[in-house]
């Protein structure tokens, strides 16, 4: 059996990752913690290293909406425009006539379920070539600007017809704000982070700066160089698709809440029934499609096993992967290669985290796979 720490040491020595922090846990607590390399110049990576977790924020945003569903304030079938009328201003982008976008009204109404499962019709500029062209031609700001106006991306398909990865969870966070009345950062702090004891997870990095890692990008020479990438500070709105900073132990507390079916250390954030809904396939028959990157410096292509679905909170494996995660396993990641998975049938949660681009480049993917196989070999 490969020692987990050896996996981390070898990957760092080979420069497959600039540095790495990895942990595993079961419902009772941590079962492995390891780190290798320098989180930034002069600072060793440790369990307490802080990360920009980008899309690992999404599961927390989905949980926020599920808490309100659990309380009967909204439902998965609530139409987005009922809560946020601005959604009705969005049109489907069908292409271009020269430099003029061809737009039409959507044929279906988007629901909160569509937002949570990325079937709302909205895609990031990294995954659909029409979107960056639209942003450039219209001067529309990227969602990473933190501007409220940036939410108004065009749709690329009718809601409910296709998986497409984009700013849907940012909209879901805005739904929570509109229904609850608290700003999303306050809601998450009071309803999720405080009850789960996630003291190192924050919307602004201030208290984490002495432990914050730097981001590296793979150069043409195969080595890593520094790159500046972070969620926008003090934005007009906190995007629940990308806004959080966290640490491996803190995020593991969130994952252990899932292993404990909606509660941790006696603090319940979801009822049993709502918990079943947040982890169940909510795709209405659709499955995830291969994600073709149009920004190779940011991300490689992303291919999930055939038949992969999405629950209200997580990507869902529908079949066992030999020597690795089981059917019903839940997972996702952040763009700077912070990854997690939860395998309820094996009572296992795990993270493997660095700060590097491109997302899921082959050398990182090899490290992730070796780590996951070693985790299962040790069970």
Q: What positions carry a catalytic annotation?
A: 55, 58, 165
Question: What angle in degrees, to the nearest 10, is found between the helix axes of 4-13 and 362-377?
Answer: 170
| Cβ burial 219-232 (10 Å sphere, 16+ → b, else e) | eeeeebeebeeebb
Q: Give the separation between CA 80 and CA 115, rounded to whole angstroms.
A: 8
Collapsing DSSP to helix, strand or coil, 341 comes out as strand
How many other C-beta atoms are found inside a 10 Å radius of the C-beta of residue 192? 19
- In DSSP terms, 349 is beta-bridged to 25, 342
Nearest in space to 226 (alpha carbons), one of 234, 218, 216 = 216
What DSSP letter does each residue of 251-320 carry, written as one string?
A: HHHHHHHHHTTSEETTEESS-HHHHHHHHS--STT-----B--S-TTTB--B-PPTT-EE-SSSEE--S-
| Distance (Å, whole) CA 257 – CA 253 | 6
Distances (CA, A) of 316 to 173, 328, 341: 21, 6, 10
- Torsion, Cα 97 103 108 109, to 10 degrees, reads 150
């Amino acid at each position: 059996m490969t020692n987990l720490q050896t996996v981390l040491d070898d990957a760092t020595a080979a420069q497959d990752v600039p540095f790495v922090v990895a942990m595993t846990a079961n419902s009772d607590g941590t079962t492995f913690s390891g780190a290798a390399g320098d989180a930034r110049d002069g600072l060793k990576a440790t369990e307490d290293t802080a990360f920009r977790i980008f899309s690992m924020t999404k599961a927390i945003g989905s949980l926020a909406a599920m808490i309100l569903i659990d309380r009967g304030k909204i439902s998965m079938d609530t139409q987005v425009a009922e809560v946020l009328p601005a959604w009705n201003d969005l049109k489907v982008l069908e292409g271009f006539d020269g430099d003029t976008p061809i737009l039409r009204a959507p044929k279906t109404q988007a629901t909160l379920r569509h937002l949570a499962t990325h079937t709302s019709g909205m895609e990031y500029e990294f995954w659909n070539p029409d979107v960056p062209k639209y942003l450039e031609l219209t001067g529309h700001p990227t969602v990473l600007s933190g501007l409220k106006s940036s939410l108004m991306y065009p749709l690329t398909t009718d809601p409910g017809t296709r998986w497409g990865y984009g700013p849907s969870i940012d909209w879901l966070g805005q739904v929570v704000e509109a229904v609850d009345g608290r700003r999303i950062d306050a809601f998450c702090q009071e309803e999720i982070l405080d009850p789960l004891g996630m003291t190192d997870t924050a919307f602004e990095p201030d208290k984490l700066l002495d432990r914050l890692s730097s981001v590296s990008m793979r150069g043409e020479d195969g080595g890593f160089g520094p790159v500046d990438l972070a969620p926008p500070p003090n934005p007009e709105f906190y995007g629940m698709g990308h806004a959080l900073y966290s640490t491996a132990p803190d995020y593991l507390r969130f994952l252990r809440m899932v292993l404990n079916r909606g509660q941790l250390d006696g603090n319940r954030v979801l009822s049993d029934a709502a918990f079943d809904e947040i982890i169940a396939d909510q795709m209405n028959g659709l499955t995830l499609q291969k994600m073709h990157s149009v920004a190779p410096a940011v991300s490689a292509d992303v291919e999930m096993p055939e038949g992969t679905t999405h629950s209200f909170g997580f990507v869902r494996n529908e079949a066992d992967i030999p020597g690795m995660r089981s059917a019903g396993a839940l997972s996702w990641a952040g763009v700077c290669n912070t990854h997690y998975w939860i395998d309820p049938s094996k009572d296992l949660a795990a993270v493997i985290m660095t700060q590097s681009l491109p997302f899921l480049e082959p050398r990182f993917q090899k490290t992730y796979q070796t780590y996951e196989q070693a985790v299962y070999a040790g069970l």
